[in-house]
Amino acid sequence: MRRFFGKVINNNFVLDDEDFKHLAVLRFGVNDEFLGICGDEYEYTCKITKLDKKSAICTILSKELCKQNPKKNITLFQALPKADKLELITQKITELGATDLVIFNSEFSVAKANINKLARLNKISVEACKQCGRTIPLKIHDILSFDDMLYTLDNYDLVLFAYEKQKDIIDLDLTPYKNIAIIIGSEGGFSQVEVKRIYEHKAVLFGLGKRILRCETSAIFAVGLVSYKIDN
């Protein structure tokens, strides 16, 4: 059944904007049914009852808890990469069960922070939700400085830091933890000062095998491994 992202208003499910346009392109009409998601933990079985030029009003036939939503929190802390890589990371970690994405500036970041890109990333996360079956999109936070990123790490049960030639992530027991942070560098990596400061925040250093991976590969691979190990 097709999935569309909308909102619940007065016990009806309402589609507008891009998802309404998509509905129209697919020639959905009155009495047609679809699965609706709106960013909460439920998926709604909906029947279209009214169509106008800008929206669709739908009756909610039933709602069920979505079993595909993550059970534990995984936050990717990604040092700012180039835009196309960040879009790929956003899409794939949504599919793989991450709950949050925190982008931060580091000393060797090549790209420049652009707050306008966050709206684009949010849209990518919603589309990935519809594709993979979850109903709660990846939460994308405002871009942080390196210092602010370090301060935020205090909120996590476990902080994992991808750094070369350290313990392999596959050997770590992650099952006791419910709120996990993963730190990945940009194309330029981290300075030695930054590495020391992250390590001082009780980060567990880990590696991702023998080969040197691109930053986007590292982010996707690390989130996938962690998510699999904690059944997320």
Q: What is the pLDDT of residues 87-137, one digit of tens each?
A: 999 999 999 999 999 999 999 887 776 777 888 999 999 999 999 999 999
pLDDT above 70 (res 202) = yes
Domains of the chain plus CATH, in order, are 3-65 (2.40.240.20), 73-229 (3.40.1280.10)
Exposed, middle or buried by CB within 10 Å (0-12, 13-18, 19+), for 22? middle
43, 15, 230: which is closest to 136 by C-alpha? 43
CB 222, CB 160: distance < 8 Å: yes
Q: What is the rounded average pLDDT for all residues in the chain?
A: 91
229: which residues sit within 8 A by CB, 6+ positions away? 170, 172, 174, 175
* pLDDT given at position 196: 92
Find the mean pLDDT for residues 203-227. 90
217: which residues sit within 8 A by CB, 6+ positions away? none
Q: Is 46 helix (H, G, I), strand (E, B) or coil?
A: strand
Q: What span, in angstroms and rounded, lies between the C-alpha atoms of 85 and 76?
A: 14
* pLDDT given at position 97: 96
pLDDT digits (tens, 9 = 90+) for 37-64: 999 999 999 999 999 888 999 999 999 9
pLDDT above 90 (res 209) = no
Find the mean pLDDT for residues 5-34. 92
Q: What span, in angstroms and rounded, lies between the C-alpha atoms of 223 and 86?
A: 14
* pLDDT given at position 145: 94
Residue with tokens 């697919």: 26
pLDDT > 70 fraction of the chain, expressed in percent and rounded? 98
Lowest mean pLDDT among 10-24, 182-196, 197-211: 197-211
